[in-house]
Amino acid sequence: MSESQLLLFLGQVLMVLLLARVLGELFRRFNQPALAGEILAGLLLGQTVLGHLSPDLYHGLFPDDAVQLALFDVVAQIGILFLLLVIGLEVDVVSAWKLRNQSLGVAISGVIVPLALGFGFAYAFYDAWAEVPTPRIAFSLFVGTAVAITAITVVARLLFDLRILKSDLGLLLISALAINDLLGWVVLAIVIGMVGSLVSDAAPALDAPQIGMVVVATVVFAGAGATWGRDLVTRILQWFDQQELPSPATPLSFVVCLGLACGIVAQAIGVHPIFGFLIAGLMAGDPSALSEHTRSVITQMVESIFVPLFFAGICLHVDFATQFHPGLVFAITALSILGKFFGAWLGTWIVRLPAFDRIPVAIAHIPGGSMGVLLAVVAKESHLIGPAMFVAIVFASIFSSLLVGPALSWSLRRREALNVVGFFSRRAILPALHARERFEAIDELVRFAAGVESQLDAERVGHAVRTREETMGTGIGDGIAVPHARLPGLAAPLVVCGVSRDGIDWNAVDDEPAHLLFLILTPTDEEDTQLEILSTLARGLGEASVRDRIVACGTADGIWAALHPQLRKSSKLSGP
């Protein structure tokens, strides 16, 4: 590599990263996924726009030189590997298993229906859709997988912005989408095994016994990682914390090394290394071992540098204008959105979710996002698909991700308006918490709640709230925590507000201690109430000055005087 090639590489990275970050943040500012802006940056700098407007400039910036292409490709490949690692960290198999009666039904139906639809259409239109000589079964399975996969990162970000990520609905969605992602990547790993190794024209397709071995090895690898592998990694990370080793540097280095090791194992068993990084993230994702702050550091490092370069980079050398086939794009987009929507909706009906939760759950399954784009990239490099199908899948993934935000917000707004101000009261305010630890604070709030409502069994309520907290932490950031539980036989919802002036570590994503604690107890059959209480709190306490003013109050009367007007203002209905 010459100095001129290195200089050009640095210039390429500078231009692509700068434009991708600017456009990504612009899209995020308008509550849209940054992925769309990053893709747009690649389109503007690549063959699609710059290549047509100024071919000489484009070829000067991105020449077809083997060394130059390899340099940028290495950075892009690092991006795809570590993005899967981050996605794996979001897959909480423990929570998914605890909610298996609901999440498994929704996830499996949400995968099988679009997978079957995609497979059927691809099989029927194989002659028109297949641009490369891929086996018909393998091609059809891939298209089915591409239209079935859902972007857990897009949905998680949206739920976080809506402040309902920590609700029971948010927990159900994240659990179901985690299973969806895992099933999708297992199918893709099997498909790649059917047609040969990644990016290797000399790699032979596997025969039936070899495919069977790949399937078994893939399932065993995933199962081992989700069980004893996760337990082992959790103990190692906890040991790091006990030894007070530098954090987040030590766990970050360990998780990266774990990803590399699992990538090697995945390649050895005949599947794509990115599947190994997904399993590594799954193994390291226990919230009790890897704090939300450390997880956030890893995520921000990947999403701020490697991900923009990857998503912008995949568009540099593909002409989306000439490879855009309206009929194919429409078909793939419709199959992706409608298949996942009806698949997830059918799952909510099978597991008998409340009627008002069915539409939001179904809508949350439609975005392809980064997962769909990743599948398209892997398939294109594995010679499963040609450029036209690649463009169609990328378009469907981006369009569905842009659609999900407004659609999900609409589905939540269409619920029956509920005035939750009446569930708060002056007598349910604890102005000075003595607890210094999360579960101690929960016990203190529960004991206080039992004093407010004599019908409550403090031991039973405490067990329910602690169990829910262990399943998924309820620190929503900005110094707020919302421990909650739904209780059978509870006559009416109850919200207890507690204030900790020193703050309590609640493992929030922003690593800020919780000063305002809201214990939310609702009847089992009133799932909508909990979500509306959380939404009201999010709207009412959105400003730091409001939160600081409430915390500064030293008495229950002062806290109520500061809190109550905010609740009235943010409630959907004006309470008495």
Give the pLDDT band of residue 254 (cuts 50, 70, 90): very high
DSSP H helices in 382-509: 387-413, 438-452, 458-471
Lowest-pLDDT range, 58-72, 77-91, 236-250? 77-91
According to the model, what pLDDT value does residue 65 have? 83
Percentage of the chain beyond pLDDT 70 is 91
Cβ neighbourhood burial of 454 (10 Å; 0-12, 13-18, 19+): exposed
Do 525 and 470 contact (CB within 8 A), yes or no?
no
b/e map of 211-239 (b: 16 or more CB within 10 Å)?
beebbebbeebbeebbeebbeebbeebee
Lowest-pLDDT range, 232-236, 335-339, 569-573? 569-573
Do 569 and 542 contact (CB within 8 A), yes or no?
no
Do 446 and 467 contact (CB within 8 A), yes or no?
no
CATH 3.30.360.10 fits domain 421-570: no
Q: What is the mean pLDDT of residues 456-471?
A: 89
Q: What is the mean pLDDT of residues 334-354?
A: 92
Lowest-pLDDT range, 325-339, 400-414, 538-552? 400-414
Give the pLDDT band of residue 98 (cuts 50, 70, 90): low
Give the pLDDT band of residue 193 (cuts 50, 70, 90): low
According to the model, what pLDDT value does residue 341 have? 95
- The CB density around residue 509, as the number of other CB atoms within 10 Å, is 17
In this predicted structure, the answer to whether residue 574 has a pLDDT above a threshold of 70 is no
Is 484 an annotated catalytic residue?
yes
Catalytic residue from among 52, 484, 515, 564? 484
According to the model, what pLDDT value does residue 508 have? 79
Average pLDDT, the chain: 84
According to the model, what pLDDT value does residue 388 have? 93
CATH level 2 (architecture), domain 8-413: Up-down Bundle (1.20)
- Most confident segment among 154-158, 178-182, 452-456: 452-456
Closest CA to 474 of 411, 412, 537: 537
Strand-strand pairing, 480-481 and 475-477: antiparallel
Q: Where are the domains of the chain?
A: 8-413, 421-570
Can you tell me which residue has the tokens 């390899």? 70
Q: Which comes out higher in pLDDT, residue 153 or 376?
A: 376
According to the model, what pLDDT value does residue 257 have? 93
Percentage of the chain beyond pLDDT 90 is 32
Q: 37 to each of 16, 93, 302, 309, how far by Cα in Å?
A: 12, 31, 16, 12
Length of the chain: 576
pLDDT digits (tens, 9 = 90+) for 212-251: 777 788 888 888 988 899 999 999 998 998 888 887 788 8
Q: What is the mean pLDDT of residues 147-169?
A: 76
